[in-house]
Chains A and B, each alone.
Chain A
Amino acid sequence: MTTSPFPILIIVVPLISAFLVPVIGWWRKGLCYPLVIGALSLSVFSSIFILRMVMGQGTIHYYLGNWAPPWGIEYVIDHLNAFVAIIVSVISLIIAIGSKRNVEQELPEKIVYFYCLFLLHVTGLLGIVVTGDMFNLYVFLEIASLAGYALIAIGEDGAPFASFNYMIYGTIGACFYLLSVGYLYVVTGSLNMGDLSQILPDLYHSKVVLMAFAFFIVGVGLKMALFPLHVWLPDAYTYAPSAVTALVAPLMTKVGAYVMIRIVFTVFKPYFSLELIPATAILSWVAIVAILFGCILALGQTDLKRMLAYVLIAEVGYITLGVGLANRAGLTGAILHILNDALMMAGLFLVVGAIVYKGGLRNIHQLRWLHRKMPITMAAFTVTALSVIGIPPTCGFFSKWYLVLGAINANRWLFAAILLISSLLNAILFFRVIENVYFEPARYAHNGGIHEETSRDEAPLSMLIPILVVAAGILSLGILSGEIVSNIIRFAVPGDL
């Protein structure tokens, strides 16, 4: 067992910076942004360092305040959370850079508070990822959520209401989670995940444990917007400021998915949810409905941001399906999709941010000429869209490949079929947008004489570079997915699957 201080650094740096931001912002507003970038960069470095350590020497344990578990809080980092921690820290850094102009434009008065909440939210997410303690996880979950409610509430008209709605749902979710932590504590006397997974197998037939498991799933399902607990999501993500949606959409749901994987496969043994109760089977059916529901409802949206919110619900379905299939290929797909979907959503919402920044409208029928106005941004959008559809060699294809393989391995042909149908639905969704962006049938319309030449008006470099980095990541991580799977995810999937 190795003990190392790095797990705590990953959280402490953004947490302390979050409190420094208002202080420094009170003195010099312009210094907030460099501080945020600095803090997040440190998180990125330490998470990369941690991943290298985990890959080199296996799981890392860190005892908070040197109190040995199960009494003290323990941070445990294995391949799974090292992987997710990198995703969270890198994506939040990219978003912080890419959304700077959006923040300045949309929230000129509130920059300081925005960055404070931004860092708190990221701290919460990173905390959820690194902790090995059930109650500590709850604390971070609430830090992330509360920051999230506040961030969303500063958006456009309708945002306070959407945020209030989200808060109610989110709080119910948190209650369910806390209740189940309480139940487990009552029967086991422990809050440490590793400890729980040792004690629990003897209690698997206890009704309390069953109840706790059910509450976990509902609580986490609410946080990750798993159908039918997704109701809060479309409004909240549509009305939130561009920068907030770009931060919350890729990460919050993915971290929720991570918690689900942790609980289903680490805290409880796969045997429990696979054979003892049909939990994974139920999850996979729910996931299938989520995928179809998300895609079909997205078809009805004309607001690009809202459409993407529904796509996100479907994407959460993919990850849950991988969990529900509960075999090696399926879970590999789910974990890989956490990465891929975080990238894709970050890319898409950054592009939406850029469109909004340049005064564009979000209605998908009003995107015409955009390929002339912002050719590079739209090229990146196209690459990302192809990835959501699942066209190789983008990364979205590869997670779908593992999911389809998992469905076939589990003899669930229907699931494989639904996955493919959802690809086709996504194709309709995104090609509809792409068509509007690139083609100009208006020229042939009868009164098309008004030749409104649009001059080039590309997004500023500070937006363009993050967008391009994400697009390049989508392409290269697709090709590299084999390496990611064989070096990281292979170890993150429990051995007894």
Chain B
Amino acid sequence: MEVVPSIRPLLAIAVSALAAFLILLTGERRRNMRELWTILASLTKFSIVASMIPTLLAGKVIECTIISLSPGIALQFRVDAFGIFFATLASVLWIATSIYSIGYMRGLKAHAQTRYFFCFAFALNGALGVAFAGNLLTLFIFYEILTIATFPLVAHKETPEAIRGGRKYLAYLLTGAALVFFSMGLTYHLTGTLDFVGGGFLRGHGSNSILRLLFATFILGFGTKAALMPIHEWLPTAMVAPTPVSALLHAVAVVKAGVFCVLRVVLYVFGPQLLSDLNLWLILAYFAAFTVIVSGMLALAQDNLKRRLAFSTINNLAIIIMGAALLSPSAITGGIFHIAGHGFMKITLFFVAGAISVKTHKENVSELDGIGRMMPLTMGSFAIGAMGIAGTPPLVGFISKWYLCLGSLEAKEIVFLFVLLTSALLDIAYFFPIIYRSFFNRPKEQGNSGFNEASMLMVIPLTVCAIISIILGIAPDAFFHFFQVATLAAKSILGIG
């Protein structure tokens, strides 16, 4: 594979760190200027990331080595198909979230907005670093930056509840990070390297029992961020964060970074061959399948809209991990593609929840009667996102589920086909009541039920995301070449073509 040296990965990461400091210097007094930095940084970031896609599609890899950190380990960025996939997703959605955040934070007259935008930019810095990291140590550095930068965002409201949420978030994620730290040390001890290799590099190092232990600590470590059950508890609690945070970080950047890291470990550290030798893939797949079903059921029981979405997120994250664990070409492609598909759909749903709460201060599903008449665009987008997550064609969710189902057949594990179908039914069961209530029930309190949408700064991003999830369902390669890149990543992992 041809390697192209380039500084672009570093620039793409650094641009939001730079923006973060500009935001801090500009401050609350000149808030339009401060927001300008956020928007500019998100656009620049996306264009740098997008400029790398053609090189990747040509089958090349972009590399950027900064400095040696420890014998045999460098601070190195290595952009491969899988990395660019996640980076594109995160940077596109950051643009949408930036615009939405401005509407949301100003709509609520929130305090400490400078800190909010500072941390947000820093979190994105972490997310892209995770995407581009060429080895485990680099990945870990940015993983931790992401964790720490998100803490002030979770606790943003500074109510006792928010602070508890923040503490819980830190407790889970730092414990997970400690496990990752240990696993990383053990990996280095066994192999003397930490560089990712498509198809894994651990094979032939260490005894089977050590490798099994290593796998467990890795998955438990990164699994905290990916909210695998039973270590998912922080995610519903973290829903006390402002909605844009939940939208971008708890639907895309943070949790997806967790999933991304799990997939990196499964596919690029252990590799399909070793996992099938040790029979670990099946255990991981069952573990994920358990999460899929249980979180789907728990979502049914939530009345708070954001908590329901949180459980739905847990459900979908587990689906992605399950896909990767099945190790068949279609399942890996479907799993990777679902990272993007779910990203667009779930961010739409969270944006809707935020728009509702800014406009009407309602946060519970049971209060949503008739809200579709008041906010048709918003709830229409919600319906699109919800149906997409349930896997209705022609939405983007259908494509990924189709490939996942195919993949479970390819892996000759029919159980997982049923898990996927059951989860689709559960999706319908917890989303459709919301759609029904909002469009077909009459509002409980009379008056003021005419057209009354939230600020355009919020409505436009959420409708755009909904529209993109339709377009991606019809043409999965539209705009960002997501499907092509996902296929490319799957191929490089499995060593085909």
Residues of A within 8 A of B (CB): 386, 389, 391-393, 397-398, 400-402, 404-405, 407-409, 416-417, 420-421, 423-424, 427, 431, 435, 438-441, 443-444, 479-483, 485-486
Contact (Cβ within 8 A) B170 A405: no
Q: Which residue of B lies closest to A404 (CB)?
A: B185
Residues of chain B from 379 to 429 with CB closer than 8 A to chain A in the complex: none
Contact (Cβ within 8 A) B144 A392: yes
B189 to chain A: which residues have CB within 8 Å? Answer: 405, 408-409
B179 to chain A: which residues have CB within 8 Å? Answer: 420
- Would you call B158 an interface residue if the criterion is a C-beta within 8 Å of the partner chain's C-beta atoms? yes
- Would you call B175 an interface residue if the criterion is a C-beta within 8 Å of the partner chain's C-beta atoms? yes
Contact (Cβ within 8 A) A404 B181: yes
Q: Which residue of B lies closest to A417 (CB)?
A: B182
Q: Which residue of B lies closest to A432 (CB)?
A: B167
Q: Which residue of B lies closest to A431 (CB)?
A: B170
- Would you call B160 an interface residue if the criterion is a C-beta within 8 Å of the partner chain's C-beta atoms? yes
Chain B: how many interface residues by the 8 Å CB criterion? 36
The 3 closest A-B pairs by CB, nearest first: A420-B178, A392-B141, A482-B68
Contact (Cβ within 8 A) A391 B148: yes
Indicate with 1 or 0, residue by residue over B35-75, a CB within 8 angstroms of chain A CB atoms: 00000000000000000000000000000001111110111
CB-CB under 8 A for A393 and B67, given A404-B181, A424-B175, A431-B170:
no
- Would you call B140 an interface residue if the criterion is a C-beta within 8 Å of the partner chain's C-beta atoms? yes
Q: Which residue of A lies closest to B174 (CB)?
A: A427
CB-CB under 8 A for A486 and B163, given A408-B186, A439-B158:
no
> How far in angstroms is the closest Cβ of chain B from A448?
11
> How far in angstroms is the closest Cβ of chain B from A391?
5
Q: Which residue of A lies closest to B159 (CB)?
A: A444
A128 to B182, CA, bound (A): 36
- Would you call B152 an interface residue if the criterion is a C-beta within 8 Å of the partner chain's C-beta atoms? yes
Contact (Cβ within 8 A) B70 A420: no
Q: Which residue of A lies closest to B129 (CB)?
A: A393
CB-CB under 8 A for A405 and B188, given A482-B68, A486-B71:
yes
Q: Which residue of B lies closest to A426 (CB)?
A: B174
B95 to chain A: which residues have CB within 8 Å? Answer: none
Contact (Cβ within 8 A) B141 A393: yes
Indicate with 1 or 0, residue by residue over B180-207, a CB within 8 angstroms of chain A CB atoms: 0110011011000000000000000000
Indicate with 1 or 0, residue by residue over B151-172, a CB within 8 angstroms of chain A CB atoms: 1100100111001001100100
A402 to B167, CA, bound (A): 28
> How far in angstroms is the closest Cβ of chain B from A403?
9
Contact (Cβ within 8 A) B178 A439: no
* 26 A-B pairs (CB sep. < 8 Å): A386-B148, A391-B144, A391-B145, A392-B137, A393-B141, A393-B145, A398-B69, A401-B70, A405-B189, A408-B185, A408-B186, A416-B182, A420-B181, A420-B182, A421-B178, A424-B174, A427-B174, A435-B166, A440-B158, A441-B158, A441-B163, A444-B158, A479-B75, A482-B71, A482-B74, A485-B70
A398 to B188, CA, bound (A): 14
- Given A400-B181, A479-B66, A482-B73, 5 additional A-B pairs, CB 8 A: A438-B152, A441-B160, A482-B69, A482-B71, A486-B68
Contact (Cβ within 8 A) A424 B163: no
Q: Which residue of A lies closest to B140 (CB)?
A: A392
What secondary structure prevails in chain B residues at the interface with A? helix
Residues of chain B from 260 to 306 with CB closer than 8 A to chain A in the complex: none
A420 to B170, CA, bound (A): 15
Contact (Cβ within 8 A) A481 B178: no
CB-CB under 8 A for A401 and B185, given A427-B170, A438-B152:
yes
B163 to chain A: which residues have CB within 8 Å? Answer: 435, 439, 441
A386 to B149, CA, bound (A): 12
B166 to chain A: which residues have CB within 8 Å? Answer: 435
A398 to chain B: which residues have CB within 8 Å? Answer: 69-70
Q: Which residue of A lies closest to B73 (CB)?
A: A482
A401 to chain B: which residues have CB within 8 Å? Answer: 70, 137, 181, 185
Contact (Cβ within 8 A) B69 A481: yes
> How far in angstroms is the closest Cβ of chain B from A453?
13
B67 to chain A: which residues have CB within 8 Å? Answer: 479-480, 482-483
Contact (Cβ within 8 A) B175 A482: no
B152 to chain A: which residues have CB within 8 Å? Answer: 438
Partner of A423, one of B74, B178, B185: B178
B145 to chain A: which residues have CB within 8 Å? Answer: 391-393
A400 to B137, CA, bound (A): 13
Indicate with 1 or 0, residue by residue over B124-148, a CB within 8 angstroms of chain A CB atoms: 0000000000000100110011001
A373 to B385, CA, bound (A): 45
Contact (Cβ within 8 A) A483 B68: yes
**Of B70, B115, B137, most A-chain CB atoms within 10 Å:** B70
CB-CB under 8 A for A439 and B155, given A401-B185, A424-B175, A427-B174:
yes
A440 to B115, CA, bound (A): 14
A408 to B75, CA, bound (A): 22
A393 to chain B: which residues have CB within 8 Å? Answer: 141, 145
A404 to chain B: which residues have CB within 8 Å? Answer: 181-182, 185
A397 to B185, CA, bound (A): 12
A440 to chain B: which residues have CB within 8 Å? Answer: 158
Q: Which residue of A lies closest to B180 (CB)?
A: A420
> How far in angstroms is the closest Cβ of chain A from B336?
27
A443 to chain B: which residues have CB within 8 Å? Answer: 158
A276 to B487, CA, bound (A): 60
B148 to chain A: which residues have CB within 8 Å? Answer: 386, 391
> How far in angstroms is the closest Cβ of chain A from B341?
32
A438 to chain B: which residues have CB within 8 Å? Answer: 115, 152
A97 to B170, CA, bound (A): 36
A408 to B74, CA, bound (A): 21
**Of A423, A439, A440, A480, most B-chain CB atoms within 10 Å:** A439
A386 to chain B: which residues have CB within 8 Å? Answer: 148
Q: Which residue of B lies closest to A481 (CB)?
A: B69
Partner of B70, one of A391, A402, A439: A402
Indicate with 1 or 0, residue by residue over B8-28, a CB within 8 angstroms of chain A CB atoms: 000000000000000000000
A402 to B188, CA, bound (A): 11
A11 to B181, CA, bound (A): 42
